[in-house]
Amino acid sequence: MYKFVMSTLSTLVTIYLLLSLILTVAISWCINRLILHPLRNIARELNAIPAQELVGHQLALPRLHQDDEIGMLVRSYNLNQQLLQRHYEEQNENAMRFPVSDLPNQSLADGDAGAGCRA
């Protein structure tokens, strides 16, 4: 009787340990698919941005992540890029329209870089 009880207990412990291992692997896989995979895609997209498109670049919002932290991160990045693009454009416009330096800047904008220096 004692051997039967011990055998049954050891079998149950083994089964519980195997189920725990399977559950751990399943949870790890889900975390990888739901969190790490989209973050890796965002990192790849950011690394692939050409240098001339750094200002104003918009990330694609990952599917299934519109209302969570990853979606919030992407929306914040996109908003920051829009603000940066707007400030960059305003700075360029102000550099060309500032009354004191209007003539040299206009000649640079027209492509005649030497005209501003000769005047």
Segment 46-99, tens digit of pLDDT: 999 888 888 888 988 888 888 889 999 999 999 999 999 999 888 887 776 656
For the chain, the maximum distance between any two Cα atoms, rounded to a whole number of angstroms, is 110
38 class by beta-carbon count within 10 Å (0-12 exposed, 13-18 middle, 19+ buried): buried
C-alpha atoms less than 13 angstroms from C-alpha of 75 in its C-beta half-sphere = 8
Domain residue extents for the chain: 1-48, 55-119
| pLDDT for 116 beyond 60 | no
pLDDT of res. 2: 84
64 against 37, higher pLDDT: 37
Give the separation between CA 71 and CA 64, rounded to whole angstroms: 9
C-alpha dist (Å) from residue 115 to 16, 58, 93, 106, 118: 83, 38, 20, 10, 5
